Each structure stands twice: as structure tokens, then as C-alpha cells.
């Protein structure tokens, strides 16, 4: 990559972080009323209900929310509506979603900081593959025509300024363990964590549910339950994808 290209990437990412935007990255959505959260996410009805259910169960104040793998912003938008005094920090490397997140923040006056990088176990450049459905993306070692380079940061470095985190969501398509490994200090001061467990995606990256579960529990969490079923989560028994909530 040339020096000029590198400088252009850095410049673009800074403008997104500061709240500016470029029309070339606009995303077309079925609803144009981006100030009405319920209309934006009508196609995500099942997750909408699950997140609302989670928020209603939280019995502590929520002032700081971290959303890793923010995608189209569903989790952070609902959190901002539910906990209207909270500050959300969003990590999302997909370029085709960043303009939308900036617009969503602006129209709703959300207290969001949008960081346009991936999160990993070390600071580096990674390849993001977007050749998957439903606006998902994943980090991979290989390459394809749909890959692009993105910066990746460690949570412990990016969030070193935070004394505590009330609520964190991690949904990064199978590289959750890398996020955890680079954010052990941050995780130890997180009160509630919701993280996606997808056995097939974890396996693709050389990991498994038990390995991820054990790494998370080292941070001092005492309870874990499946958001979909409400039952206690057992990584040796659960073989389907589910969102797992860890509490203290």
C-alpha cells in the first residue's frame, strides 16, 4: 500500500470519527425515517425484542456502553433510547455502514463515539471480508476480491481512559476470542457483557465455545445465561448459536 493510500484511509477514518461523511459510502435502507428507531430496525424484530428484554433485566445504572461489531447500530440505538443518559462507544470496521451510523447519531442526538476500526488481540492491519449476507463481515487470513484492509486495535489500548463499563456487546463473527484476549483489563471492569457464541464461526477461526467461555470467566464474571432461552449457559452442551449474557 502506497503512502498516499495510507494517508487517505487515515483521513477518511478521522472524518468519520469527527462526525463528517462522504456520499460515496451512503447506505440505502428501506425506511428513510432514521430518527425513529422502531422503523429503522423493523427487519431485525427478533433481536430488537431480545435486546429490550436484556435491558429490562439490568438492575444497575448504565452510563457507559461499548458496542464491538456495531453493524447498523441496533444495540447502541436501543441502549441510547433505554438509558438516555448513557454514552456509547461503537467499533465498526465496515466502510459501507459508517455513514449510516454517523447519520443515525446526528439525527437522534445520540452521545456516540464511532471508532471505525476492528478489534483484535493486537494492533495491526487485518483483512475484512464482506462477501457474506445481512451486512455481516468477518476477519480472515486469506484474501478475496471483497476484502479490504482495516486497522485493528486492542480494547485495553483503545479504552484505557475508562474507569468502568456498565454494558458491553461483542458480536464479531467468530473472532470473539481475539477481542477478549486483547481486552482483559477492560473486561475486568465491565459489569454486564453480552457476546455471541457461534460454534461454527469459532471453529473456522480455530477456537471453540469452551475456550471462549473459560477466557471470559477469568475476568471475574459469576453467571452466564443464554439470552434466547433464559437458561444457564453450558458451553459443553449448547451447540447452537446464541447470545450469552455474563454478569457479576
- Identify the three-state secondary structure at position 157: helix
Residues 6+ apart with CB under 8 A from 219: 184, 187, 188, 190
Measured CA to CA in angstroms, residue 6 lies from 50, 82, 156 at distances of 40, 39, 24
pLDDT (0 to 100) of residue 45: 57
- Identify the three-state secondary structure at position 79: helix
Average pLDDT of span 206-226: 96
Q: 138: pLDDT confidence band, cut at 50, 70 and 90?
A: very low
Beta-sheet strand order (sheet of 118-119):
118-119, 147-153, 124-129, 138-140
Which fold is adopted by the domain 3-247? Rossmann fold (3.40.50)
Q: 199: pLDDT confidence band, cut at 50, 70 and 90?
A: very high
Say yes or no to pLDDT of 48 above 60: yes
pLDDT (0 to 100) of residue 96: 78
Residue 53 CA, distance from chain mean position: 18
Average pLDDT of span 206-217: 96
Say yes or no to pLDDT of 204 above 80: yes
Q: Per-domain residue ranges for the chain?
A: 3-247
Contact between residue 116 and residue 19 where contact means Cβ atoms under 8 Å apart = no
pLDDT over 90, % of the chain: 52
pLDDT (0 to 100) of residue 100: 84
Amino acid at each position: 500500500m502506497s503512502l498516499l493510500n495510507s494517508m487517505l484511509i487515515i483521513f477518511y477514518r478521522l472524518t468519520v470519527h469527527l462526525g463528517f461523511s462522504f456520499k460515496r459510502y451512503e447506505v440505502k435502507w428501506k425506511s428513510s425515517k432514521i430518527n425513529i428507531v422502531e422503523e429503522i430496525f423493523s427487519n431485525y424484530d427478533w433481536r430488537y425484542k431480545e435486546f429490550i428484554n436484556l435491558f429490562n433485566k439490568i438492575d444497575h445504572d448504565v452510563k457507559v456502553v461499548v458496542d464491538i461489531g456495531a453493524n447498523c447500530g441496533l444495540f447502541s440505538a436501543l441502549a441510547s433510547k433505554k438509558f438516555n443518559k448513557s454514552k456509547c462507544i461503537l467499533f465498526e470496521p465496515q466502510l459501507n455502514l459508517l455513514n449510516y451510523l454517523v447519520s443515525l447519531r446526528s439525527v437522534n442526538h445520540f452521545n456516540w463515539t464511532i471508532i471505525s476500526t476492528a478489534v483484535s488481540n493486537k494492533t495491526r492491519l487485518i483483512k475484512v471480508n464482506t462477501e457474506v449476507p445481512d451486512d455481516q463481515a468477518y476477519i480472515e487470513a486469506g484474501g478475496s476480491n471483497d476484502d479490504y484492509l482495516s486497522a485493528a486495535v486492542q480494547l485495553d489500548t483503545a479504552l484505557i481512559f475508562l474507569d468502568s463499563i456498565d454494558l458491553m456487546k461483542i458480536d464479531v463473527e467468530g473472532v470473539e476470542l481475539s477481542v477478549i484476549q486483547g481486552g482483559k483489563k477492560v473486561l475486568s471492569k465491565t459489569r454486564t457483557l453480552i457476546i455471541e457464541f457461534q460454534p461454527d464461526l469459532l471453529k473456522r477461526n480455530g477456537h471453540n465455545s469452551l475456550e471462549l467461555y473459560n477466557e471470559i470467566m477469568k475476568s471475574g464474571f459469576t453467571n452466564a445465561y443464554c439470552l434466547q432461552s433464559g437458561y444457564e449457559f453450558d458451553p459443553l452442551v449448547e451447540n447452537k448459536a446464541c447470545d450469552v449474557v455474563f454478569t457479576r
